[in-house]
Amino acid sequence: MAERVAGPEIERLIQLLARLPGLGPRSARRAALHLVRKREELLGPLAEAMRVARERIVTCETCGNIDTTQPCSVCADARRDPATLVIVETVADLWALERSGAVSGRYHVLGGVLSPLDGVGPGELNLDALPGRIAAEGVREVIIAVNATVDGQTTAHYVTDLVAPTGVKVTRLAHGVPVGGELDYLDEGTLAAALRQRTAF
Amino acid sequence: MAERVAGPEIERLIQLLARLPGLGPRSARRAALHLVRKREELLGPLAEAMRVARERIVTCETCGNIDTTQPCSVCADARRDPATLVIVETVADLWALERSGAVSGRYHVLGGVLSPLDGVGPGELNLDALPGRIAAEGVREVIIAVNATVDGQTTAHYVTDLVAPTGVKVTRLAHGVPVGGELDYLDEGTLAAALRQRTAF
């Protein structure tokens, strides 16, 4: 075993690296060796960046985003339109939408999707505060931007029912042909949706 | 950009993670989010493991292995046979051979292979000390365990010439069918080598 060779310190580093998504035991070993080879340029700065992240990054109590401020910089941004609230599954989805630059409103991060098989019910998601938030912030449109998966769509229906009493308008992302996509490679469901929701040219 | 959303701290973490082998920009983002979600169980311990690794892990001045002792635990192990020296390209290869449990001798880590196209000449490798080490440690057999690549074989020939004046016996790993391997999936070169080097049954 590697621990006989390089001691428990590096073995522990490998084990922890192997718990990152996308790294298995073999690639964690490669990553650890790479880190040790680049001690000054990479290992030191990364250890420090992790220490800082651990100390300073908090989950926004308003929307569920992560940031170093409370509330997060999205919630605190006065230029954002308070009338639009975008519901996303994860912080990664929030970042993806921010990269698109197409969202002028704020977000609400659910922290997952309803999944009875995995034991994820409404109580596990960031849902309780949602109706109150809609009322308090004067939201007029809720855009449901969850993944187009079965669990995502189940969650979308649940959110729709949950916010119905507030009388707010509920919309969801369009289905259609991805920009740059080729029709020949798309599934029938996407093509049918793209046809149904065709727009004037 | 993500940095508008979560601040420069997490952006820096993502950029550093993306420099690990096996992680691209997208998977580095996913890894960073995973780390922040698992702040206490993973982010903290990993930052600490990296700090410890940075402080304590050194490169063995004798063989080029990495360890927390100088010389490394392999070089310091008196039960190892000083007459056998195994030449490997990298520490990862040393670990792989240690996992096999088949090496009774010590190692010499070259730190790479000769590769004129990448500007790696003999001066870039851990070669200078090799002839002196063979004489000083009473080595009687040098086993060249480099990769079976073109650059690896070039390096093997160079090492053979380099140690020839010491009169030591030089061997290399056998080519053949991997244990558990199926002949139908092996290349012709491997099959031909396995036939040529067939052993008594």
Tell me the fold of A8-56: Helicase, Ruva Protein; domain 3 (1.10.8)
CB neighbours of residue B61 within 10 Å: 11
To the nearest whole angstrom, how far is the Cα of B17 from the nearest Cα of chain A? 7
Q: Which of residues 49-68 of A touch B (CB under 8 A)?
A: 49-54, 56-57, 65-68
pLDDT at B166 over 60: yes
pLDDT at B62 over 90: yes
Mean pLDDT of B45-68: 93
Q: Where in chain B is the domain with CATH 3.40.1360.10?
A: 66-172
Q: State residue B182's pLDDT score.
A: 85
* ipTM of predicted complex: 0.76
Confidence of residue B61 (pLDDT cuts 50, 70, 90): very high
Q: State residue A8's pLDDT score.
A: 85
CA distance B124 to B114: 8
Condensed to tens digits (0 to 9), the pLDDT of residues B77-109 reads: 999 999 999 999 999 999 989 988 889 999 999
CB A75 within 8 A of CB A61: no
CB B127 within 8 A of CB B120: no
pLDDT at B2 over 50: no
Q: Would you state the structure tokens that stand for residue A156, as one six-digit string?
A: 């979308």
Q: State residue B1's pLDDT score.
A: 40
Buried b (16+ CB within 10 A) or exposed e, A105-118: bbbbbbbebbbeee
Q: Please measure the distance between the N-terminal and C-terminal CA atoms of chain B and give it in whole angstroms.
A: 64
Q: H-helix or E-strand containing A58?
A: strand A58-59
Q: Identify the three-state secondary structure at position B193.
A: helix
Residues of chain A with pLDDT under 70: 1-6
CA distance B155 to B144: 9
Condensed to tens digits (0 to 9), the pLDDT of residues B93-149 reads: 999 899 888 899 999 999 999 998 999 999 999 999 999 999 999 999 999 999 989
Q: Inter-chain contact A73–B5, Cβ cutoff 8 Å?
A: yes
Q: State residue A5's pLDDT score.
A: 55
Tracing tokens 């605190």 back to the chain, one arrives at A76
Which residues in B lie closer than 8 A to residue A67 (C-beta atoms)? 5-7
Class of domain B66-172: alpha beta
To the nearest whole angstrom, how far is the Cα of A66 from the nearest Cα of chain B? 6
Q: Please measure the distance between the N-terminal and C-terminal CA atoms of chain A and give it in whole angstroms.
A: 64
Which of A92, A127, A5 has its CA nearest to residue B36?
A: A92
Is A69 in CB contact (< 8 Å) with chain B?
yes
Q: Among all residues of chain B, which has the CA nearest to that of A21?
A: B31
Is B76 in CB contact (< 8 Å) with chain A?
no
Q: State residue A1's pLDDT score.
A: 41
Q: Which of residues 14-43 of B touch A (CB under 8 A)?
A: 16-17, 19-23, 27, 29-36, 39, 42-43
Q: Would you state the structure tokens that stand for residue B155, as one six-digit string?
A: 């390096």
Q: State residue B6's pLDDT score.
A: 63
**Contact pairs from chain A to chain B, CB under 8 Å:** 178
Q: State residue B71's pLDDT score.
A: 93
Which residues in B lie closer than 8 A to residue A43 (C-beta atoms)? 50, 53-54
CA distance B5 to A75: 10
Residues with Cβ within 8 Å of residue A167, at least 6 apart in sequence: none
Q: Among all residues of chain A, which has the CA nearest to that of B66?
A: A6
Q: Where in chain A is the domain with CATH 1.10.8.420?
A: 8-56
Tracing tokens 């410890």 back to the chain, one arrives at B52
Higher pLDDT, A62 or B7: A62
CB-based burial label for A179 (10 Å; 0-12, 13-18, 19+): exposed
Q: Inter-chain contact B22–A23, Cβ cutoff 8 Å?
A: yes
User: In chain B, at which residue ranges do the beta strands (DSSP E only) sit?
Assistant: 58-59, 66-67, 84-88, 106-109, 141-144, 169-172
DSSP A166: G
